[in-house]
Amino acid sequence: MNWQLFFNPGSIAIVGASPKKVKTGNAILSSLIKDDFPGKIFTVNPNVSQVLGIPCYPDLKSIGEVPDLVIITTPSQYVIDLLQQCAQLRVKAVVIITSGLKEINEHGTHMEESIAQIAKTSGIEIIGPNCIGLMSPHTKLNASFAGSLPLPGKIGYFSQSGSILAATIDIARSLDIGFSRVVNIGNKAHLSELDMIKAFADDPETKVIAGYLETFDDGDNFIRQAELISREKPILLIKSGVTAAGARAALSHTARLTGSERAFDCVFERAGVVRCASIKHQLDIAWAFAEQPLPRGPNVAIIASAGGSGIMAADAIEKEGLQLAALSDSTINTLSTKLDNALNVNNPVEIMGNILAGGYELALRQVLDDPGVHIVLVLLTPHALTQCTGVVQAIIRVAKEKTDKPILACLPGVKRVEKEVNMLSSAHIPCFDFPEKAVATIKAMVNYSMWRSRPKRVIKLFPVNRRKVEKIIERHLKDGVSEVVDMEVKTILKAYGFVIPEGMIATSPQQAVNFANQIGYPVVLKVWSPGIIHKTEVGGVKLGLANEEEVKDAFDLMMYRIPKIRPNVNIPGILVEKMCDKGQEVILGMNRDPRFGPLIMFGTGGKLVEILKDVAFYPAPLTAAEAKEMLINTRTYNILTGINQGEKGVAIDAIAEALQRVSQLVTEFPQIRELDINPFVVGREGTTPVAVDATIILDVG
């Protein structure tokens, strides 16, 4: 995307400019004039001679030169013809304001397909349709009907929704938060959210990239590109409309538990994208990223003028998983000796409400100099005797001198502290009205900083037998059978390095007994049928069978009861397996998301997986560190490590390796749509985990 043509054009043509104030073309032209756009403005309308004092041309060709940017505001039936005119003139950038296309009917969808095709063949870059335009405060460009230009700043903002964009600008203006560029991408017939992110990444005026999205395009490419861009600039996104998206019947536990919310969370985490819960939350974080350096760690120091606000901040820090910085002996000694009226010189540093500004300045300098402090939160409560203005002036002085650590402020209140809040904002120090908001912002800054400090991703590839897996999958696809179960699925897992229980298929009670005697007791019996995915739901699993009589009885009972429950399902036999040694049961899985590809799952195994829903997801392929992080992100991790029981833990690294093997399998075989290994039984360190049961679902088209 050539962002210069959109945000710093030398000339603009408004097609559909109108003298009528109710028309979009009039509103956009008025915005350009009102906000002093310095370039040339051409208006195009065959029905009038001039608009707002600017001569009007009957068509684009009549202008006599090629505009850098063309803005189309005409009714939808004229859009395709106008784009073809742009193509003939070799116009390179177009914004289509026009609505009434794919959001209305199928005809509109076909029109947008034509728009995309014209863009592809002609080289025109197109924003929209169905958008309210774009803004660039630094170049005095207001090609929109979103209101006055926002303040100039360092945040590049895009939105799929025009109304959300207008609201965001208004909220930001009330907080004195500025933008570098603002654009409504609308229906995204050509340029998408990823194009905007890449444009803002290349824009020297933009330090922070933020946006609002309802739909998502090209998820796999988004992960790769956003991950690269996040290394240089933070990306903050709101993603709405996820609660019901992508819902469908799923055969595996993993697919049923994934959900769009989980998919976006894990994909954003992988790409380093900060997911925001609301516009206000997003602006808070963007403000801090734009104005302050990144923290080098999670240790927060609090300086408070009252005990209550300091306690609230300390509570929020603990809840967010951050650390209260342990101040050095040198810092504590200096504060104790030189700080008058201090209530506490540990962290939080608490100062009496009538403290002079000089004391506050001393405390801030000392805390910032402490090597164990990564970020400082300054809280100032406006008592009658508090020198609010003087204290704020002191904070600003120190902040200008010490720029390597972030400083955030919190002044609880509204009217009483309005002047001081404005002073801090003008000095590029983000200020919040309550401690919890400030700490939530600090959490986002710390998480992003830690993500950026991660080592380069290295994917380990294990030696496997791909050919054996290919044969099984090719046969299933040829026969149109999507479910791979029992012995064949275990053959696939064995080819990828998993240990499976020894087992055989029996077609009679006596054969089951013979196999059990051969394998050794105790054994497990499982119904074997491609039509039965979840065996326990039909009574198709019998555990701990210790002798011949129990094996015969279990076999007969299954073959009698299951056909009554599933009369249309063929049951060729019963699987006889060696009973697995005791251990912790976990689940490993994968669901192939239509936007983002394979998402790997780990969680509590056995029958409790869908009851407890204690699971973690991450996009494949997985590194060793990411696999380990998946374990840590579940409550099950404390059980696996033995923390909760005070016992020895299980083989954590073996589980992490198994997740990587699943990741390799589903990456190398995109035909696999869903996968469950449940239970995956893992014992003490040094023992070998066993894939007891598994299901693979293929995409047969």
pLDDT band at 643 (very low <50, low <70, confident <90, very high): low
Q: Which CATH superfamily is domain 293-452 in?
A: Succinyl-CoA synthetase domains (3.40.50.261)
pLDDT at 649: 85
> Residue 246 has what pLDDT?
39
- What is the structure's pLDDT at 386? 66
Is 232 in contact with 256 (CB distance < 8 Å)? no
Please give the structure tokens belonging to residue 482.
Answer: 């999507």
Residue scoring higher pLDDT (616 or 581): 616
Residues 6+ apart with CB under 8 A from 621: 459, 663, 664, 667
pLDDT of residue 569: 87
Strands 597-604, 40-44: pairing kind: unpaired
Residue of 214, 63, 192, 78 lying closest to 125 (CA atoms): 192
Q: What is the pLDDT of residue 247?
A: 38
Secondary structure E strands in 403-443 = 407-410, 431-432
pLDDT beyond 60 at 206: yes
Q: What is the largest CA-CA distance in the chain?
A: 100
Count other C-beta atoms under 10 Å from residue 414's C-beta.
9
Query: Could you give the CA distance from residue 270 to residue 622 in angstroms, rounded to a whole number?
Result: 10
**Beta carbons within 8 Å of 149's beta carbon, 6+ residues apart:** 35, 135, 137, 140, 142
For residue 383, name the pLDDT band (cuts at 50, 70, 90).
Answer: low
Give tens-digit pLDDT for 523-536.
Answer: 999 998 878 877 88
The continuous run of DSSP H or E covering 38 comes out as: none
Per-residue pLDDT of 601-612, as tens digits, reads 999 876 666 666
Q: Alpha-carbon distance 352 to 307, whole Å?
A: 9
Give the CATH H-level superfamily of domain 502-578: ATP-grasp fold, A domain (3.30.1490.20)
Mean pLDDT calculated for residue range 175-189? 95
Instruction: Using pLDDT thresholds of 50, 70 and 90, give the confidence band for residue 244.
Output: very low
pLDDT at 165: 96
pLDDT for 356 beyond 70: no
The string of pLDDT tens digits covering residues 326-336 is 999 999 999 99
Same fold, 3-215 and 293-452: yes
What is residue 258's predicted lDDT score, i.e. its pLDDT? 56
* Structure-token pair, residue 610: 């869908």
Q: How many CA atoms lie within 13 A of 374 on its CB side?
A: 18
Domain 584-698 class in CATH = alpha beta
Single-letter amino acid code for the residue at 569: V
Please report the pLDDT score of residue 152 as a whole number.
Answer: 96
Q: Are strands 133-136 and 141-144 parallel, antiparallel or unpaired?
A: antiparallel
Q: In angstroms, rounded to a whole number, what is the distance separating the alpha carbons of residues 171 and 177?
A: 9
- pLDDT score at 249: 43
Can you tell me the mean pLDDT for 628-643? 88
Tell me how many helices (H) and strands (E) the chain has.
23, 32
pLDDT, average across residues 436-442:
96
For residue 105, the model assigns a pLDDT of 84
Q: Which residues of 357-392 are buried (b: 16+ CB within 10 A; e: fewer)?
A: bebbbbbbebbbebeebbbbbbbbbbeeebbbebbb
Judge contact between 324 and 463, C-beta under 8 A. no
Strand 208-213, strand 235-239: pairing: parallel
Among 277-291, 379-393, 566-580, name the most confident range.
Answer: 277-291
Average pLDDT over residues 27-46: 96
Give 78's pLDDT tier (boundaries 50, 70, 90): very high
Q: pTM higher than 0.85, yes or no? A: yes
Confidence category of residue 248, pLDDT binned at 50, 70, 90: very low
Whether 257 shows a pLDDT value over 80: the answer reads no
At residue 589's C-alpha, the angle toward residues 583 and 591, to 5°, is 165
Domain-wise residue ranges, the chain: 3-215, 293-452, 502-578, 584-698
> What value does the mean pLDDT take over residues 623-639?
92
Burial of 428: CB neighbours in 10 Å, binned 0-12, 13-18, 19+: middle
Query: Residue 130: is its pLDDT beyond 80?
Result: yes
β-sheet bridge partners, residue 344: 350
Q: Any bridge partners for residue 42, and if so which? A: 13
Structure tokens at 330: 């040198």
Of 34-38, 45-49, 384-388, 505-509, the one with minimum mean pLDDT is 384-388
288 Cβ contact list (under 8 Å, min separation 6) = 406, 408, 430, 441, 442, 444, 445
CA angle 674/263/295 to nearest 5° reads 140
Q: Report the run of H or E that residue 549 belongs to, with start and end.
A: helix 548-565
Q: Tell me which of 245 and 82 has the higher pLDDT.
A: 82
pLDDT at 535: 85
Q: What is the mean pLDDT of residues 188-201?
A: 95
Tens-digit pLDDT profile for residues 551-592: 999 999 999 999 999 998 889 999 999 888 778 899 999 999
The CATH class that applies to domain 3-215 reads: alpha beta
Q: Distance between CA atoms of 473 and 488, rounded to whole angstroms? A: 10
- Tell me, what's the pLDDT at 687? 86
Mean pLDDT of the chain: 90
Instruction: Find the mean pLDDT for residues 214-227.
Output: 87
Bridge partners of residue 677, in order along the sequence: 588, 694
Percent above pLDDT 70 for the chain: 94
Q: What letter does residue 456 receive in the DSSP assignment?
A: P
Nearest of 438, 337, 423 to residue 378 by alpha carbon: 438
Closest CA to 601 of 620, 614, 615: 615
Cα–Cα distance measured from residue 672 to residue 663, given in angstroms and rounded to the nearest whole number: 11
